[in-house]
């Protein structure tokens, strides 16, 4: 079974530039998540989709971050404009069901973003 | 505030010894807990989970204990191996108008040969 695919693997940009990350979840997984992981910290949930609808985006800095999941399959996360503090690993995860007690997440390898 | 955290940021054990990684949570409404392992350059990987109606669950070489009275859970790794070296996160699944997984800060486990 193919895992969660993410690209690019690494990205280096200057502050105020824009960047986009792509994620393809495991086939059949209805729920997709974007997490931000700053070095030395645990992953922080940015946004959670159920099919193509947003379930939770309370932690997404909406003035600069946006995400979409068209057709309920793959997803893109965009940052525009980037700030130095956005340097982090952006992890995409998917799960089979959005039900109580069944949210075992499967993660991709992440995109490591460096903002200079 | 709500948080899931760990008591120790690093843990060093001798190969073959047992490891115990602890985690405290503050939201008594959480009813599902998960341990993830993250190796360098990779995303977190599921290890074991436990629901709040249980106090112990065992897997292959791993055991999770849940103490709801003091809001504490632990991960025990038996006969720790070099391949167990990684960062371990506890996470809780909360449902307040939608279920989301909240991660703690993590514990880095070093296994000495």
Tens-digit pLDDT profile for residues B1-20:
344 554 458 999 999 999 99
Segment A74-88 shows an average pLDDT of: 97
Q: Is B3 on the interface with A (CB under 8 A)?
A: no
Question: Has residue B98 got a pLDDT over 60?
Answer: no
CA-angle at B96, arms to B95 and B102, nearest 5°: 55
Question: Which residue in chain A is spatially nearest to B91 when comparing CA positions?
Answer: A42
Question: Has residue A86 got a pLDDT over 70?
Answer: yes
- What is the reported pLDDT for A102? 61
Q: List B64's β-bridge partners, or say none.
A: B57, B75
Backbone angles phi, psi at A76, to 5 degrees: -125, 145
Question: Smallest Cα–Cα separation from B37: which of B83, B100, B99?
Answer: B83
Of all residues in chain A, the percent with pLDDT exceeding 70 is 94
The answer to which of A32-46, A76-90, B83-97 has the lowest mean pLDDT is B83-97
Question: Has residue B110 got a pLDDT over 80?
Answer: yes
d(CA A32, CA B62) in angstroms, rounded, equals 28
Q: What is the mean pLDDT of chain B?
A: 88
How far is the alpha carbon of B14 from chain A, nearest alpha carbon, in Å?
Answer: 23
- In this complex, do A100 and B34 lie within 8 Å of one another by their Cβ atoms? no
Q: How many CB pairs under 8 A join A and B?
A: 64
Q: Is B50 on the interface with A (CB under 8 A)?
A: no
More confident site: B57 or B3: B57
More confident site: B56 or A39: B56
Let me know if A23 is exposed, middle or buried by CB neighbors in 10 A (0-12, 13-18, 19+).
buried
Segment A14-34 shows an average pLDDT of: 95
d(CA B67, CA B74) in angstroms, rounded, equals 9
Residues sharing a CB contact under 8 Å with residue B66, sequence separation 6 or more, in sequence order: B33, B50, B52, B54, B55, B56, B72, B73
Burial string for A82-102 (b: 16+ CB within 10 Å, else e) reads: beeebbbbbbbbbbeebeeee
Best mutation target among B54, B100, B105 (most A Cβ atoms within 10 Å) is B100
* pLDDT band at A114; cut points 50, 70, 90: very high
Q: What token pair was written down for A76?
A: 């893109």
């Amino acid at each position: 079974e193919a895992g969660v695919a993410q690209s690019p693997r690494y990205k280096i940009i200057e502050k105020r530039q824009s960047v986009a990350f792509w994620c393809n979840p495991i086939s059949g997984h209805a729920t997709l998540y974007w997490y931000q992981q700053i070095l030395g910290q645990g992953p922080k949930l940015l946004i959670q989709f159920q099919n193509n609808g947003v379930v939770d985006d309370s932690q997404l800095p909406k003035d600069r971050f946006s995400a979409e999941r068209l057709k309920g399959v793959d997803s893109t996360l965009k940052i525009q404009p980037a700030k130095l503090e956005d340097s982090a690993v952006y992890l995409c995860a998917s799960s089979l069901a959005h039900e109580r007690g069944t949210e075992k997440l499967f993660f991709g390898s992440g995109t490591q973003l460096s903002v200079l | 505030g709500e948080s899931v955290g760990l008591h120790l940021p690093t843990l060093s054990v001798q190969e073959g010894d047992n490891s115990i990684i602890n985690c405290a949570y503050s939201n008594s409404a959480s009813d599902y807990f998960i341990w993830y392992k993250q190796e360098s350059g990779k995303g977190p990987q599921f290890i074991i989970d436990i629901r709040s109606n249980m106090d112990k669950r065992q897997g292959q070489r791993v055991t999770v204990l849940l103490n709801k009275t003091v809001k504490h859970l632990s991960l025990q790794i038996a006969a720790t191996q070099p391949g167990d070296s990684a960062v371990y996160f506890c996470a809780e699944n909360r449902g307040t108008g939608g279920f989301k997984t909240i991660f703690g800060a993590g514990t880095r486990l070093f296994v000495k040969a």
